[in-house]
Amino acid sequence: MVRPTADGVQIDLSAPPDLAYLAGHFPEAPIVPGVVQINWAIELAARHLQLVLEAGTQFQVKYRRVFLPGRPVTLTLTNKNGALRFDYADQGDVLSSGSIRLKHGESR
In a domain, 45, yes or no: yes
In a domain, 36, yes or no: yes
- Whether residue 101 has pLDDT greater than 50: yes
pLDDT tens, residue by residue, 8-60: 999 999 999 999 989 888 878 899 999 999 999 999 999 999 987 765 668 88
Structural domain that includes position 38: 2-101
> How much is the pLDDT for 108?
47
CATH label of the domain that carries residue 41 = 3.10.129.10
Whether 41 contacts 75, CB under 8 Å: yes
pTM exceeds 0.75, yes or no: yes
> How much is the pLDDT for 66?
93
- Whether residue 104 has pLDDT greater than 70: no
In a domain, 108, yes or no: no
In a domain, 93, yes or no: yes
> How much is the pLDDT for 25?
81
> How much is the pLDDT for 56?
62
Compute the average pLDDT of residues 81-103: 92
